[in-house]
Amino acid sequence: MYNSKITGLGYFVPDNIVTNNDLKEFMDTSDEWIQERTGIKERRWIDPKTGENTSSMGVKAAKIAIERAGLTKDDIDFIVFATLSPDMYFPGGGVRVQDMLDMPTIGALDVRNQCSGFIYSLSVADQFIKTGMYKNILVIGSENHSGGLERSTRGRGVTVIFGDGAGAAVLSRTEEKGKGILSSHLHSEGKHARELMLDGPSTGRWVPEILEANDPEDQSYYPYMNGQFVFKHAVTRFSEAIVEGLQANNLEKEDIDMLIPHQANLRIAQFIQKKFRLPDDNVYNNIMNYGNTTAASVIIALTEAWEKGKIKDNDLVVLAAFGSGFTWGSVMIRW
């Protein structure tokens, strides 16, 4: 069995900054209200005039990651693309990236695990490399939330939270023992699926019915979230996934050099930090600048932390995420 390690990182966010005060133009809210509940100060939303989309953002992040890995697009053997907001209902973003980067006809897999999408994707890529099937895999998390949010007071509980952006990592084969991805741990609990979801469009109420109804009050096309219920489960499952990873590798919480939690809510991250008694330098958060970018959040934060020199050789880096599904998981990395 081979080991896999991250050899390149990159991220891209739109130039268009939307502050909490900007949101007051179309909903009853305030900067204080949003920061108190989420920790978010601003987020990036795609400017429709730019023509940017989920796949194009992923491509921009991927180019940076591939270059930093010292590779070319032709060295990539496989693509794993995580998103809940593909450009089209089908096909997914993986094949779009393959085309936009003018890559050989390599395989492309799409992962639809929402907030834990990058964790799941990294785990999938790790298995392909460990077994020797592939040598270099491009793993992308990218989201275009802004185009599907309800920009009104009715939708503010969800709309204020989400932002657009993309991150990418190149995962490569290594024979160096004890380095790279040590383990990954994935879970789900589908009985809570409707606590955080987007109900339409779906094959349960498909195109003919949608066209016939033409109901302007139909809210099924906007995301729904039972915020308190999600928060309660998130803090529990985050902790469990981190502990599981530590125990699997005979490590203690004191061994964590950097925790990168999914940027869902700053209050969740702060709760986890306090529970594990981690100093500020050992946890990286950027939700205040980007909001929740779902499948892109962990990889954007990981890239930023690495760029700022907060992750060093031989550090124990823990990635953790929880989200819709419910799905959650962790990845333990020896940098």
Active site residues: 115, 262, 292
Beta bridge partners of 283: 259
Distance CA 155, CA 191 (A): 24
**DSSP bridge pairs for 6:** 171
Burial class of residue 15 (count of CB atoms within 10 Å of its CB; 0-12, 13-18, 19+): exposed
Q: How many other C-beta atoms lie within 10 A of the C-beta of residue 305?
A: 20
How does strand 327-334 pair with strand 165-174? Answer: unpaired
CA 181 to each of CA 61, 174, 197, 298: distance values in angstroms, whole numbers, following the listed order: 21, 10, 30, 15
| Euclidean distance between CA atoms 154 and 63, whole angstroms | 39
- SS3 per-residue string spanning 101-147: CCCCCCEEEEECCHHHHHHHHHHHHHHHHHCCCCCEEEEEEEECCHH
* Phi and psi, residue 294, nearest 5°: 50, -115
Contact 138, 170 (CB under 8 A): yes
In the chain, what is the straight-line distance between the N-terminal and C-terminal CA atoms, in Å? 19
Strand pairing of 136-143 and 165-174?
A: antiparallel
**Residue 43 near residue 20, CB atoms below 8 Å:** no
Q: Which residue, 259, 323, 261, is CA-closest to 111?
A: 323
